[in-house]
Structure 1
Amino acid sequence: MAGITSADVARESGVSRTTVSYVLTGRDGVNISEETRRRVRETAVRLGYAPSAAARALRTGRSDLVLCILPDWPVGPVIETLLDELADELSGRGLSVLVHHGRGARSLTDLWRTVTPRAVIGFAPFADHDLLAMRQAGIQVLGTLGEDDQPDPALPSESQLRIGGLQAGHLGRRRGRIGYAWPTDSRLEVFARDRLLGVRRACTELGLPEPVVRPVGLDVDAAAVAVRAWRGQEVTGVAAYNDDVALAVLAGLRAEGLSCPEGCAVIGVDDVPAARLAAPALTTVSQSIEVQARYLAALVLADLDGAEDKPVHPGHGLHVVERDSA
């Protein structure tokens, strides 16, 4: 069934399409009676008319969308929280967040030309030709840190290194050997690599042995296999890639009859709601996602307002949330 158009509203109201356009866009300085305005609005509501976003973009040159480009990552609580907070912050200015996952064969160029966004936020570096084309089209392009120049993906991420360092520093107080629970989802390897590097560097600084790395799937049997291996290598604490993997490690410890933290301490990353409900409650590293979302929203709004002074990055906000597991 075709959607209701402004022509339908005009026909039902007994006025021209131009009059409908003036009324529904709130255009001032046009001699239209209040009775006519009321009739047009009531007709639009009764018919269920909604203005076309595409048409609005053609008129203004831009839509009211902020396009977030996600690579092919699994979307967990951290990304969900970031996007929710970003949408809340921007909604007060009449902006909507559109999320695109980098899956499938559709080109980025086709996407941004279709929706004509006000701004594009990239959660990973763009190809050089995509970045140039968007900026030539007058689209504001941001990374998640608001950087003008894209980070080199071959270099370790400062924030991910810091996460691993915090984990190892907390576990290192036990002066035992640290294990690292590597995620089995290959899409997470870019983060796991840098977090593990942070753990390794911290172990070196603390005079601890090289961490023992084991893959841990999100099931009890796989986690129990890793726990047995760590036990044989005298591991006293495990730094897990994230809270999901850490919860699997806790399950593996229970399956092997080991207590936590007495037999083996565990620390995760993300501070998901389930972390505080675990038995024992999970110690973790928080990324302060709400703060990052507010910063991204402030960057977008500062550009729209033509502000010369850009918001100052608040820092990564990483900190250990200490609970019973470590």
Structure 2
Amino acid sequence: MWSAMSETTSTAPTSADVARLAGVSRATVSYVLNDTAGGRVSEKTRLRVRAAADQLGYVPHAAARSLRAGHTGLVLMAAPEITFGPLFNEFFAELRAGLRDHGYTAVLYGTRGDLSGREIARAWAELRPTAVITGVTDDLTPEGVEILRRSGTRAVLSLAERPVPGAHSLLLDQSAVGATAGEHLVARGHRAIGVVMPTDATLRRFSEPRLAGVRQAAAGARVEPLALDYTESSAAELAARWRSLGLTGLFCYNDEYAALIQAAFQDAGIAVPTDAALVGADDLMLARVLRPRLTSVHVSLPEGIALADLIDRLIREPDTPPETYRIGDATITVRDSS
């Protein structure tokens, strides 16, 4: 059986095969299939080369392309193994498209909580990424930056609340999200404010700074953290004890938790905003379609295309000293729920 299969297996087509079929040089095939032809190849020739490649089933070899370019072209975004929401998904889609326009391939890499910073950096380095973005994770250390640099990574960026020595830093102040929500609720006269704290441990890097921001903005008011699972039963339990808590306003962590809570409150006969003023965060489409419409903190993430341009520049200029960029301004979008 095995010998019969091997006799019918053909070798993979090469760029030389494509060149012969299209009647062009291998260099022309490389120009066309790697999108580096510029004005050197006519449209007619380009179409002929692509038709030949399709006919033969030829796919360029990524490793060979990496050898020519001097790097893999892989941009790795490291992220904790959590379910991301629409805001991050939209951001990553834009970033991926922008990087693709520059000739890079963007991939998400789920980090593991049982690894040390050194071990995580070594795991990233094994893939020989051209650039690493430690998005929404705090696993990057100065030693990790050095490990990546020594393995050939040209640009290391940290998307976090504090700079990481040796890395380019995109500073996202999560406490400002909570402060913006707290300022709004205080301005509306609330002096007893609840703050939803998701029980998912991977969200603590967001929820704890947001709680601190509410406390700072609502100094002198009562601020009470409320642990909540992202389940209907947990939201129903909160609704059942809401009146006994003596709270009047609630910062719901984000719009998705706010929608869960608003539905539970409505089922329990708790009027929004009369009995409970709700504020979400991320300002998703969801906030606009809820009834009553949800007041939400709008967070301005960097445009994916602009970040892709920055990454491309840092890759092409790997000796650029670490730079710091402040991103993510928080503003309140006031609607009916507060």
Per the normalisation by structure 2, the TM-score is 0.78
Partner of 2:13: 5
Q: What is the one-letter code of the residue matched to 2:176? A: R
1:179 to 194, 208, 212: 194
Partner of 1:166: 180
Task: Pick closer, same or farther for the CA change 1:38–1:181 going to 2, 3 Å.
Answer: closer
Asked if residue 251 in structure 1 is aligned to residue 263 in structure 2, the reply is yes
- Whole-Å separation in 2 of the counterparts to 1:2 and 1:265: 68
Any conservation in 2 of the 1:9–1:20 contact (CA below 8 Å)?
A: no
Any conservation in 2 of the 1:271–1:286 contact (CA below 8 Å)?
A: yes
Task: Pick closer, same or farther for the CA change 1:150–1:3 going to 2, 3 Å.
Answer: farther
What's the offset of the Cα at 1:25?
Answer: 1.3
What's the offset of the Cα at 1:150?
Answer: 6.8
Asked if residue 89 in structure 1 is aligned to residue 98 in structure 2, the reply is yes
Q: Residue deviations 1:105-140, cap 9 Å, x none? A: 8955344443x3321111234144432121122521
What's the offset of the Cα at 1:180?
Answer: 1.2
Structure 1: unaligned runs, 5 residues or longer? 29-34, 152-156
- Whole-Å separation in 2 of the counterparts to 1:69 and 1:24: 34
Partner of 2:289: 277
> SS of 1:195's equivalent?
helix
- Whole-Å separation in 1 of the counterparts to 2:247 and 2:10: 65
Partner of 2:203: 188
Q: CA RMSD in A?
A: 3.5
1:142 to 139, 153, 157: 157
Q: Residue deviations 1:132-155, cap 9 Å, x none? A: 12112252111126956279xxxx
Structure 2: unaligned runs, 5 residues or longer? 1-8, 38-43
Higher strand share: 2
What's the offset of the Cα at 1:87?
Answer: 1.7
What's the offset of the Cα at 1:301?
Answer: 2.5
Q: Residue deviations 1:248-274, cap 9 Å, x none? A: 110121121011001110001111221
Asked if residue 74 in structure 1 is aligned to residue 88 in structure 2, the reply is no
Q: Residue deviations 1:149-186, cap 9 Å, x none? A: 279xxxxx871111111111111122331011221222
Asked if residue 109 in structure 1 is aligned to residue 122 in structure 2, the reply is yes
Q: What is the one-letter code of the residue matched to 1:182? A: M
- Whole-Å separation in 2 of the counterparts to 1:14 and 1:254: 67
- Whole-Å separation in 2 of the counterparts to 1:37 and 1:169: 59
- Whole-Å separation in 1 of the counterparts to 2:46 and 2:180: 62
Report how many residues are paired: 309
Report percent identity of matched pairs: 28
- Whole-Å separation in 1 of the counterparts to 2:153 and 2:86: 33
Matches within 5 A, 1:296-307: 296-306=307-317
Q: Residue deviations 1:244-303, cap 9 Å, x none? A: 1111110121121011001110001111221111111111111112x3534532321222
> SS of 1:46's equivalent?
helix
Any conservation in 2 of the 1:63–1:118 contact (CA below 8 Å)?
A: yes
- Between 1:185-194 and 1:3-12, the stretch displaced more is 3-12
